[in-house]
Amino acid sequence: MSEVAPDREMTILEHLRELRTRLIVSGIGIGIGMTISAVFLTWPVIKLLSEPSGLTLVALRPTETFVTYFKVAMVTGAALAMPVIVWQTLLFVLPALHAHEKRWVYIALSPRPSDSSADSGATLSSSSGASRST
């Protein structure tokens, strides 16, 4: 990873090199998350998603089970890699922000007592303005 003095402006090529580095690290994180998901988490996630309906899944095409398995593994792997993706995004964006702008990023990313795995859906829907009927 390139280390640049915070007070020095970067050229366009330096920005592109930095972006490439951040994208590679994020891609590696997604690959590792997808591997972990494919080995340990995909069938439990598929079961978790299909159980509430009470229906059993049926493959209508020869490759549908295979493709569905890897789609679920990819999405679950991306969810597992989200801390790495957010961290790399911050490392790329934060040097360009002013102090008052960084403050808002830190406030937005700080953990709140309402942030938990059981309540994250309600937190997301309430922060996006969507109403939730119970």
10-residue mean pLDDT profile of the chain (134 residues): values are: 66 94 96 96 92 87 93 95 94 90 87 64 43 44
- Dihedral angle of Cα 100, 123, 78, 67, to the nearest 10 degrees: -150
What integer pLDDT is reported at residue 2 of this predicted model? 55
pTM (2 d.p.): 0.72
In a domain, 99, yes or no: yes
70 belongs to a structural domain: yes
Q: How many domains does the chain have?
A: 1
In a domain, 1, yes or no: no
Residue-level pLDDT at 78: 95
The H-assigned helical ranges of the chain are 12-36, 42-50, 64-80, 82-93, 99-109, 120-127
Report the distance separating Cα 116 and Cα 79, nearest Å.
15
Query: Is there a domain that residue 7 lies in?
Result: no
Can you give the residue range of the structural domain that contains 99?
A: 12-108
In-domain check, residue 29: yes
How far apart are alpha carbons 81 and 33 in whole angstroms? 5
37 vs 78: CA distance, rounded Å: 9
Residue 58 lies in a domain: yes
